[in-house]
Structure 1
Amino acid sequence: MNAVIWHNPRCGTSRNTLALLRHAGIEPTVVEYLKQVPDKDALVAMISAAGISVREAIRSKEAVYAELGLADQALDDDALLAAMLANPVLINRPFVRTDLGTRLCRPSELVLEILPPLATPFTKEDGSVIGG
């Protein structure tokens, strides 16, 4: 199965999602989106394929979110996308695309919706067990 993950190795959710993909026998294409910032078309396509809004795809816990006033509900999608592209830390993660669909995998278990069933359980970094 083909898979792509937009990954931040410093993020536990992203690490767990990547490990889940590998546990399922899938070696995904790993895009460290903080280093390889997507273009607007790729970002819009990933958000749309995941079936979420641009606002749902933005990481509101980052300091720059408040600094830029992005909580203002009057801001349109273009303004939010521009902020995400200029400050990729604002792109929520991890996004995963497989042959079965696309998801923003928060929590990491959401990746199971676009994977074949796991043959064995998976243990996350925090010790919780899922699948299998």
Structure 2
Amino acid sequence: MLTRPTTLELTTSIQPKTTISISLPFNRAFIRYTEHPPDASRGFDLPPAILYLQDLADEPDQEDTTPSADSWQQRPKLRIYSSKLLLDLATPDFSMPYNVIIMTSTLLALFFGSVFNALTRRFGVVQVDPLPIKA
């Protein structure tokens, strides 16, 4: 069974006065029918990123090493939230179902009309008098 990841966790040490930029390409190639948003032209909301900051200056013996899991869980963390993003999707083309419905309805109407006409029409012989010839 395939599982879909929902969380990306990155642990890194950043030097003071350093700017860092992290980007993650996002691709939803196969979207389940239950995952489509109600408004087809709006897209998907991506939740904000959460950045947990921990000051390692209090630990003199661990300057360049990553913190252990126990010390990370015990300390209070500063949280920074980014803004949420809107992932634009291609707007679905609703003309195809419309065309299929119209064509199917037309074919059914033609078939029903032909069968109904053949079953209910009465055929008979009609005598036509010849027209008089004018001289």
TM over 0.5: no
Higher strand share: 1
The one of the two structures with greater contact order (alpha-carbon pairs below 8 A, sep at least 6) is: 1
Higher helix share: 1
Structure index of larger Rg: 2
